[in-house]
Amino acid sequence: MSILIDKNTKVLVQGITGNIGTTQTRYMLKEGTNIVAGVTPGKGGLKVEDVPVFDTVGEAVNNFPIDVSLLFVPARVAKDSVLEAIDAGIKTVVLITEHTPVHDVMEMKAYALQKNAILIGPTTPGIITPDECKIGILPTNMFCPGPVGIVSRSGTLAYEVAANLCAIGIGQSSVVGMGADRVAGTNLVDILKLFNQDKDTKVVVIVGEVGGTQEEDAAEFIREEMSKPVVAYIAGTSVPPGKRMGHAGAIIEGGKGSAKSKIESLLAADVKIAGRLYEIPSLVKELIS
């Protein structure tokens, strides 16, 4: 079991003919992801690695059953492409694209909510259920199957946490990058809810970072409803306020979003805090055994 995706998931790639779209499609196919179709307006009729390309998402869904759409599209058309996927009835949309205008993200998020769809991203590395399905850009050799669910605001940190767990023989049920922008399509709490319901996830690891109040909100949910043990790490304890650390979301503004406030809220919800990245594996190991 897993969350969001498994070996039966059928995937559409929007922006499949672009450089990144094609490269990543090749990686995913090699690793066993079931990519059934691609979309690039104006490129209908082509094939990428034997995957048929359509001009619109509507045409793709008329020809194939599709569970998830994965987007490698330029930021300026991200909103249009996400709304197109949702309008075509696709219920899970993964937006890899970086630097999407936040006003567009607000609109997509509102639309997804209205249509009961899940939008993961933007600026997400995607989702992986190790040995079953990868939807995104995560390097597969960092992951292995097992009982730990990981949700991360940062892409590359998710890779490192998974790899460090694998190094001591602990695998993952699913790993979700929730995206690093100011506004995320799906919030941390929503991902925790999914892990809480997944019977094969025994422990959940939150990889958070400074900025926003996602971790504080998650702490409230964990205290009230979470039935599984949680380990959390917050990146950026040494970050000075007012400086934006790469991610649109990683900034301590007006006293809000500091690592200290997040760690305190999570501790109050009985979450095990890893002060540094390398402390995560031993904390997880204790909870599993």
Task: State the minimum distance, in angstroms, from the CB of residue 103 to another protein.
Answer: 5
Task: State the minimum distance, in angstroms, from the CB of residue 112 to another protein.
Answer: 10
**Which amino acid appears at position 19 of this protein?**
N
Measure Cα distances from 100 to 103, 118, 280 in Å: 9, 17, 31
Residue 197: how many CB atoms within 10 A of its CB? 12
Give whichever of 47 and 99 is closer to another protein, judged by the CB atom: 99
Sort strands 51-54 and 34-39 into parallel, antiparallel or unpaired.
parallel
Question: Which of 9, 25, 164, 201 is close enough to bind another protein by CB under 8 A?
Answer: 164
The answer to whether 247 is a known catalytic residue is yes
Give the CA radius of gyration of the chain: 18
Cα torsion angle, 82, 85, 91, 97, sign: negative
Choose, from 79, 202, 247, 262, the residue flagged as catalytic: 247
Question: Which of 152, 172, 258, 261 is close enough to bind another protein by CB under 8 A?
Answer: 152
Nearest CA among 117, 162, 27 for reference residue 108: 117
Position 207 contacts another protein (CB under 8 A): yes
Question: Which of 91, 109, 193, 223 is close enough to bind another protein by CB under 8 A?
Answer: 109
Residues between 10 and 49 that touch another protein (CB under 8 A): 20, 24, 27
Give whichever of 52 and 124 is closer to another protein, judged by the CB atom: 124
Question: Which of 44, 111, 147, 171 is close enough to bind another protein by CB under 8 A?
Answer: 111
Contact string (CB under 8 A) for another protein, positions 76-105, x = contact: x-------------------x-xxxxxxxx
Where on the chain is the footprint of another protein (CB under 8 A)? 20, 24, 27, 75-76, 96, 98-107, 109-111, 125, 137-139, 141-142, 152-157, 159-160, 163-164, 166-167, 180, 182-184, 187, 207, 209-214, 217, 233, 235-240, 243-250, 254-255, 276-278
Residues assigned a catalytic role = 247
